[in-house]
A and B are shown apart, each in its own frame.
Chain A
């Protein structure tokens, strides 16, 4: 039982990491019906920006460094959308797929060049009390004896908070309403006076800022190095598809589900045997999830039916 619960916690924590990359992808998909294959790399860059501000060059307090990094990431995202993607017809997917792959290459190479493909030891941590393993609920050690690291809880909680903020932005603000309008019917949005270009920029800025913040939060856990998001991308794609490509909540749930599947199911399949580490063979599982979801229910769990025509 303890093992099972331990796996559940691990799974939720991993799931939070997948959601962190899946949610920005869904935001961009909602706004533009495009998949940004460079999403993970942009988030990674955001984490490195924070590192530069907080540790490598200056010693800005981590919270402020995080905010600066988010702003930089948002600007970068807006720049990319404006200059490279806007001029293409969104129904012709090939150029956009190629461009986001090109950006993937460039950002990955840039980070690899500047920061080496090594793991950075001094990772800025937004939650300084997360100091490794602690036993939670001392009073129940004999019954549960769970080993929960504080930063796991911090990660899961932060994700929930970020989701809450995102929900508020999308559903309770005018910009958010306009964003959902553009996502629903771009032509009518124009007819209502919405400047669609500005909303697209807003969408990308929001997505990249969110992605950067997410990467900053999980960096202490999955190690800050240029390839940190490479495999996460696969999980994120599966999570986004599972939840429905245009549902932010769906992507979050998808992330947790896949994290749980990975940890709990694979943990018990002895032959495959490798545990819930992000860099091991279990990459198989998200591929299978992707294929199954897209074959049987392309709109995912919470997506709208209309996305099937993509």
Chain B
């Protein structure tokens, strides 16, 4: 497999008349955890949506996923090629049961190990197993986040995009969540691109990081380096 899992060049995006991204460039190497930091409105969610070519945003530029140009591909096709996206706000199917949510996660798969995977995620998140026939909308915020992540992983993706996973969750849960991310990255080798406002925790599990400001990359580099950068500290780490 090539060294670079995701390559983004000259990504521009807009919602109607409003330009949000003005030429974003980034690179995510295979097997690493990469973090995008930025304030509200910087364009972090838009970046993830544009990578997946979601119809909600009009985007242009070059996006290469595992060597293949996906700039003009359909979202469904992109998912089929091994990318999974956990959107902001979890994006569960609220009326469907927990287990149905997981089954949908495996929609693109044609093998017969789906049940095994479901059991696996139930093992990692026992609370989901307890609520397996409950409507997903009735789960708590943290449980829904676990469900959303599990659902995304059900497709056995090569690259996992996560949009502000800590949003609305209690600090203890967030810590558990991020250590789970780290574990998954280490055990499965899943490449991760995480968009976060909670910079400290995100940087602690990442290898590389980008800072997005009003639609373009302002800073980039190894996570440790950005962590020690005084500008980043002041703006995002509350130092």
Do A and B bind? yes
Binding site for B on A (CB under 8 A): 174, 177-178, 180-181, 183-185, 187-196, 304, 306
**9 examples of A-B residue contacts, CB within 8 angstroms:** A187-B91, A188-B91, A190-B54, A190-B79, A191-B54, A192-B155, A193-B76, A196-B76, A306-B95
State which residues 68-108 of B face A: CB under 8 Å. 74-76, 79-80, 84-85, 87, 91-96, 100, 103-105, 107-108
The residue that A192 contacts in the complex, of B56, B94, B105, with Cβ under 8 A, is B105
B151 at the interface (CB under 8 A from A): yes
Q: Determine whether the beta carbon of B94 is less than 8 Å from that of A185.
A: yes
CA distance in complex: A178, B105 (Å): 10
Q: Determine whether the beta carbon of B105 is less than 8 Å from that of A181.
A: no
CB distance from A285 to the nearest CB of B (A): 31
B11 at the interface (CB under 8 A from A): no
Q: Determine whether the beta carbon of B84 is less than 8 Å from that of A184.
A: no
A189: B residues at CB distance < 8 A? 93, 104
Q: Rank and list the top 3 A-B pairs by shortest CB-CB distance, nearest first.
A: A193-B79, A193-B108, A188-B91
Q: Determine whether the beta carbon of B107 is less than 8 Å from that of A193.
A: yes
A180: B residues at CB distance < 8 A? 93, 95-96, 100
B20: A residues at CB distance < 8 A? none
The residue that B91 contacts in the complex, of A177, A185, A194, with Cβ under 8 A, is A185
CA distance in complex: A308, B152 (Å): 29
CB distance from B84 to the nearest CB of A (A): 7
Q: Determine whether the beta carbon of A184 is less than 8 Å from that of B155.
A: no
B63 at the interface (CB under 8 A from A): no
Given contacts A190-B76, A191-B52, contact A184 B91 (CB under 8 A): no
Q: How many A-B residue pairs have CB under 8 A?
A: 70
A188: B residues at CB distance < 8 A? 87, 91-93
CA distance in complex: A193, B103 (Å): 12
Q: Determine whether the beta carbon of A191 is less than 8 Å from that of B79.
A: yes
Q: Determine whether the beta carbon of B91 is less than 8 Å from that of A191.
A: yes
Name which residue of chain A comes closest to B91, CB basis: A188
The residue that A187 contacts in the complex, of B87, B96, B107, with Cβ under 8 A, is B87
The residue that A190 contacts in the complex, of B75, B92, B152, with Cβ under 8 A, is B75
A195: B residues at CB distance < 8 A? 74, 76
Name which residue of chain A comes closest to B85, CB basis: A191
Q: Determine whether the beta carbon of A184 is less than 8 Å from that of B87.
A: no
CA distance in complex: A128, B179 (Å): 68
Q: Determine whether the beta carbon of A192 is less than 8 Å from that of B151.
A: yes
CA distance in complex: A161, B103 (Å): 27
Q: Determine whether the beta carbon of B85 is less than 8 Å from that of A184.
A: no
Name which residue of chain B comes closest to A246, CB basis: B95
CB distance from B122 to the nearest CB of A (A): 19
CA distance in complex: A192, B87 (Å): 11
Q: Determine whether the beta carbon of B95 is less than 8 Å from that of A184.
A: yes
CA distance in complex: A191, B105 (Å): 9
CB distance from A91 to the nearest CB of B (A): 12
CB distance from B193 to the nearest CB of A (A): 14
CB distance from A275 to the nearest CB of B (A): 40
A306: B residues at CB distance < 8 A? 94-95
Q: Determine whether the beta carbon of A174 is less than 8 Å from that of B107.
A: yes
